[in-house]
Chains A and B, each alone.
Chain A
Amino acid sequence: MKTYEDIAGDGGSNIIEQVEALGEKLRARLDRIKYKVALMSGKGGVGKSSLTANVAACLVDKGHSVGILDADLNGPSICHLLGVKNSHKLIIDDRGVQPGVGSHNIKLMSMDMLLSSPDSPVMWTEEADATAVWVSTMESTALRELVADTDWGDLDFLLIDMPPGSDRIDNIRSLIPELAGVVEITIPSPLSQHIVSKSITKNNKMKVPIIGLVENMAGYTCPHCEKEGPLFEGEDVENLAKQKNIPYLGKIPFDTRIGRKTDSGSLYYMDNKGSVTGKAINSVVEKILESIK
Chain B
Amino acid sequence: MKFLCIPCDEKMETQVDGIMPEEKKNLVMKFKCKKCGHSIAMLTNKFETEFVSKLGVQVNTTAAEAAGTPLGVVSGALAEGKEELKKGAPTEEDIEWTEDAKERIQRVPFFVRNMAKKTVLSFAKERGITVIDGKLMDEVREKVGM
Once the chains bind, are B71 and A92 in contact (CB under 8 Å)? Answer: yes
Residue A63, interface by CB 8 Å = no
Which single member of A17, A24, A92, A145 contacts B73 (CB below 8 Å)?
A145
Residue A13, interface by CB 8 Å = yes
Which single member of A8, A24, A91, A134 contacts B46 (CB below 8 Å)?
A134
Question: How long is the Cα–Cα vector from A22 to B78 in the complex, in angstroms?
Answer: 20
Q: Which residues of B contact A22 (CB under 8 A)?
A: 56-57, 66-67
Residue A2, interface by CB 8 Å = yes
- Residues 2 to 28 of chain A near chain B (Cβ within 8 Å): 2, 4, 7-15, 17-22, 24-25
Question: How long is the Cα–Cα vector from A145 to B55 in the complex, in angstroms?
Answer: 11
Question: How long is the Cα–Cα vector from A21 to B9 in the complex, in angstroms?
Answer: 31
Once the chains bind, are A114 and B82 in contact (CB under 8 Å)? Answer: yes
Residue A1, interface by CB 8 Å = yes
Q: Which residues of A contact B141 (CB under 8 A)?
A: none
Once the chains bind, are A126 and B110 in contact (CB under 8 Å)? Answer: yes
Once the chains bind, are A2 and B9 in contact (CB under 8 Å)? Answer: yes
Which single member of B13, B70, B73 contacts A141 (CB below 8 Å)?
B73
Question: How long is the Cα–Cα vector from A10 to B53 in the complex, in angstroms?
Answer: 17
Question: How long is the Cα–Cα vector from A19 to B58 in the complex, in angstroms?
Answer: 10
Classify chain A's interface size: 35 or more
Q: A122-B78, A145-B56 in contact; A21/B14 too (CB < 8 A)?
A: no
Q: Which residues of A contact B127 (CB under 8 A)?
A: none
Q: Which residues of B contact A292 (CB under 8 A)?
A: none
Residue A117, interface by CB 8 Å = yes
Once the chains bind, are B106 and A141 in contact (CB under 8 Å)? Answer: no
Residue B77, interface by CB 8 Å = yes
Q: Which residues of B contact A10 (CB under 8 A)?
A: 1-2
Q: A122-B78, A131-B46, A141-B53 in contact; A18/B70 too (CB < 8 A)?
A: no
Which single member of A4, A94, A133 contacts B2 (CB below 8 Å)?
A4
Q: A133-B50, A137-B53, A137-B54 in contact; A149/B70 too (CB < 8 A)?
A: yes
Residue A140, interface by CB 8 Å = yes
Once the chains bind, are A116 and B109 in contact (CB under 8 Å)? Answer: no
Once the chains bind, are B50 and A114 in contact (CB under 8 Å)? Answer: no
Which single member of A4, A14, A116, A149 contacts B62 (CB below 8 Å)?
A14
Question: How long is the Cα–Cα vector from A123 to B80 in the complex, in angstroms?
Answer: 7
Q: Which residues of A contact B55 (CB under 8 A)?
A: 15, 18-19
Which single member of A1, A133, A142 contacts B47 (CB below 8 Å)?
A133
Which single member of B25, B59, B67 contacts A13 (CB below 8 Å)?
B59
Residue A96, interface by CB 8 Å = yes
Once the chains bind, are B52 and A15 in contact (CB under 8 Å)? Answer: yes
Once the chains bind, are A90 and B85 in contact (CB under 8 Å)? Answer: yes
Once the chains bind, are B14 and A11 in contact (CB under 8 Å)? Answer: yes
Q: Which residues of B contact A36 (CB under 8 A)?
A: none
Of the A-B pairs whose beta carbons lie under 8 Å apart in the complex, a sample of 23, sorted by A's number, is A1-B6, A7-B4, A7-B11, A12-B31, A13-B59, A13-B60, A17-B63, A18-B55, A18-B58, A18-B66, A20-B63, A91-B84, A92-B84, A92-B87, A115-B80, A124-B79, A125-B78, A125-B106, A125-B110, A131-B50, A134-B46, A138-B77, A149-B71
A interface list, Cβ under 8 A from B: 1-2, 4, 7-15, 17-22, 24-25, 89-92, 94, 96-97, 114-117, 120-127, 129, 131, 133-134, 137-138, 140-142, 144-146, 149
The 6 closest A-B pairs by CB, nearest first: A12-B14, A17-B63, A21-B63, A21-B67, A11-B2, A120-B80
